[in-house]
């Protein structure tokens, strides 16, 4: 089965590179029983992906059991997963199979695995490794031959770092990771997905969709879609039902979009929204949401500050400790900083990024740090924050032959932060 046929069959619509990579990985593991971890924001289609994986596996003729771990109360989740014996607790009037027994021979999809209590995580690790488990209230060991697909909208490694998720279970789940991109990162797929939903609902509700204007199309693409494909589907259904036989223009579409009307990733920053009085603006200049502007500027400043500190650690690593008073604080290093500095400058020179030598500089002031950062990219095309960070990480890893501990020390970040960055940028 080629990729296009696969996408049409399982509803993984899109022509973006991101979705093609997801489909290729699914097809690559389709004939195996390997454990899969799906990672992505809420609404990106983790359940659709899990169904596609199961439907192309050797277990496709058996059941796919879907479990939302975050929706099951902590007091009964063990019973739901592994079953219970009659009389094992109040209300247990008869023995009952759990989800793992029901999925025997097939696949179990553990959605929102990051919300699982730690006492249950131990039992999950056991059943993943050996297929063995106990029903609640029983001393008899049961077994189940189950393929596990897990999903999360959280960073499991951060949960490990916080102590709320077991590290051994994380490594057991993270055998093959498939990252599902948010809709805003594959804008070219929005219109095709929307059209597929409109066709589906027009047939379902016996309605006729009259199309939409170019401005409405632009709004569909520029809208941030915080609810991802789930929200897009919901909007398509509303338009087909509530705007039956109506041509959709920008104003008509706008009524159904609940979130902010542009791209960004500042949702986790504090909201300080303030609108100016309406009488201070003409009709041509509508009120401005100052909170949105503030959040965007705050995020940008934070990113630039972090990058400047990382670069400064390389630029000034040749100074003696007594000369570092005006520079940002750094973590304790166990490697020769002069060796790091000379190598990084040599690598940057070879890459055409031309760092100005600071070997013989006098004691620097805070303002000189900005001058050195500016000279870092003098007469060159300035890369994005992500590109510059990726360059530094690659150079550090190359210098220390892949030793992450030494690379993290050279970069002035923790090893766990470096691990997350490697995962973010797809670096090996």
Q: For residue 59, give the nearest of 109, 23, 20, 124 by alpha carbon.
A: 109
- Taking a C-beta distance cutoff of 8 angstroms, is the pair 37, 14 a contact? no
Does 62 share its domain with 164?
yes
Residue 37 lies in a domain: yes
Does 159 share its domain with 18?
yes
222-280 per-position pLDDT tens digit: 999 999 999 999 999 999 999 887 889 999 999 898 754 444 433 433 333 334 444 44
- Taking a C-beta distance cutoff of 8 angstroms, is the pair 410, 340 a contact? yes
Confidence class for position 311, pLDDT limits 50, 70, 90: low
Distance CA 427, CA 407 (A): 13
- Taking a C-beta distance cutoff of 8 angstroms, is the pair 129, 169 a contact? no
pLDDT at 151 exceeding the cut of 90: yes
Other CB atoms within 10 A of residue 63 CB: 16
Does 8 share its domain with 64?
yes
Residue 415 lies in a domain: yes
Residue 265 lies in a domain: no
Distance CA 49, CA 7 (A): 10
Please give the residue that has the higher pLDDT: either 278 or 405. Answer: 405
Task: Look up tokens 């000034």; give the residue.
Answer: 316
Distance CA 398, CA 194 (A): 44
Distance CA 203, CA 207 (A): 7
Rg value, the chain, Cα: 27
Does 248 share its domain with 349?
no
Distance CA 62, CA 240 (A): 36
Residue 38 lies in a domain: yes
**pLDDT for position 273:** 38
**pLDDT for position 279:** 44
Q: Which residues pair with 134 in a beta bridge?
A: 141
Q: Which residues pair with 108 in a beta bridge?
A: 65, 148
169-224 per-position pLDDT tens digit: 999 999 999 999 999 999 999 999 999 999 999 999 988 888 889 999 999 999 99
Does 93 share its domain with 208?
no
Q: For residue 344, give the nearest of 311, 385, 378, 389 by alpha carbon.
A: 311
- Residue at a domain's end among 254, 285, 314: 254
Question: Into how many domains does the chain fold?
Answer: 3
Does 171 share its domain with 200?
no
Distances (CA, A) of 302 to 85, 266, 306, 385: 55, 11, 6, 11
Distance CA 396, CA 417 (A): 14
Distance CA 224, CA 219 (A): 9
Does 371 share its domain with 356?
yes
Residue 11, SS3 per DSSP = coil
Residue 117 lies in a domain: yes
Residue 356 lies in a domain: yes
Q: At 224, which CATH number?
A: 1.10.8.60
Does 164 share its domain with 220?
no
Which whole number is the average pLDDT over 313-340?
Answer: 44
**pLDDT for position 333:** 45
Intra-chain end-to-end CA distance of the chain, in Å: 30
Distance CA 303, CA 162 (A): 23
- Taking a C-beta distance cutoff of 8 angstroms, is the pair 375, 345 a contact? no
**pLDDT for position 396:** 86
Give me 343's structure tokens. 């190598």
**pLDDT for position 308:** 56
Does 228 share its domain with 332?
no
Does 29 share its domain with 90?
yes
- Residue at a domain's end among 151, 181, 211: 181
Q: Which residues pair with 66 in a beta bridge?
A: 109
Per-chain mean pLDDT for the chain: 78
- Residue at a domain's end among 225, 254, 283: 254
Q: Which residues span the domain enclosing 351? A: 304-425
Does 172 share its domain with 194?
no
Distance CA 39, CA 175 (A): 13
Does 170 share its domain with 308?
no
Q: At 145, which CATH number?
A: 3.40.50.300
Predicted structure pTM score? 0.61
Distance CA 37, CA 101 (A): 21
Distances (CA, A) of 309 to 304, 315, 333, 352, 366: 9, 10, 16, 21, 12
Residue 295 lies in a domain: no
Distance CA 135, CA 294 (A): 53
Distance CA 229, CA 183 (A): 7
Residue 286 lies in a domain: no
pLDDT at 107 exceeding the cut of 70: yes
């Amino acid at each position: 089965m080629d990729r296009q046929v696969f996408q049409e069959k399982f509803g993984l619509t899109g022509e973006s590179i991101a979705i093609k990579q997801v489909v290729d990985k699914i097809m690559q593991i389709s004939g195996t029983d390997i454990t899969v971890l799906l990672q992505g924001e809420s609404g990106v289609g983790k359940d659709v992906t899990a169904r596609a994986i199961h439907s192309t596996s050797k277990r496709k003729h058996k059941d796919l059991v879907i479990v939302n771990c975050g929706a099951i109360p902590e007091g009964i989740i063990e019973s739901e997963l592994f079953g219970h014996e009659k009389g094992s607790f109040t209300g247990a009037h008869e023995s009952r199979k759990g989800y793992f027994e029901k999925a025997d021979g097939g696949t179990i999809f553990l959605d929102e695995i990051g919300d699982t209590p730690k006492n249950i995580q131990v039992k999950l690790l056991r059943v993943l490794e050996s297929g063995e488990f106990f029903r609640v209230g029983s001393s008899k060991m049961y077994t189940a031959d189950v393929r596990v697909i897990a999903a999360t909208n959280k960073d499991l490694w951060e949960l490990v770092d916080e102590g709320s998720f077991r590290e051994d279970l994380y490594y057991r789940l993270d055998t093959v990771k498939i990252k599902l991109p948010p809709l805003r990162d594959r804008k070219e797929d929005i219109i095709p997905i929307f059209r597929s939903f409109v066709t589906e609902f027009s047939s379902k509700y016996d309605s006729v969709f009259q199309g939409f204007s170019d401005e409405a199309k632009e709004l569909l693409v520029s809208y941030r879609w915080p609810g991802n494909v789930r929200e897009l589907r919901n909007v398509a259904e509303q338009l087909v039902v509530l705007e039956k036989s109506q041509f959709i223009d920008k104003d008509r579409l706008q009524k159904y979009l609940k979130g902010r009307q542009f791209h960004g990733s500042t949702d986790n920053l504090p909201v300080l929204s303030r609108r100016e009085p309406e009488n201070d603006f003409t009709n041509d200049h509508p009120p401005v949401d100052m909170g949105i502007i503030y959040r965007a500027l705050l995020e940008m400043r934070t990113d630039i500050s972090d990058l400047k500190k990382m670069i400064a650690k390389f630029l000034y690593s040749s100074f003696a400790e007594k000369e570092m008073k005006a520079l940002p604080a750094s973590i304790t290093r166990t490697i020769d900083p002069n060796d790091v500095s000379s190598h990084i400058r040599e690598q940057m020179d070879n890459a055409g990024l031309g760092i100005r030598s600071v070997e013989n500089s006098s004691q620097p002031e805070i303002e000189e740090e900005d001058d050195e950062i500016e000279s870092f990219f003098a007469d060159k095309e300035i890369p994005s924050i992500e590109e510059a960070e990726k360059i530094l990480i690659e150079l550090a890893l190359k210098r220390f032959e892949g030793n992450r501990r030494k690379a993290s020390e050279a970069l002035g970040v923790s090893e766990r932060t470096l691990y997350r960055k490697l995962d973010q940028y797809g670096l090996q």
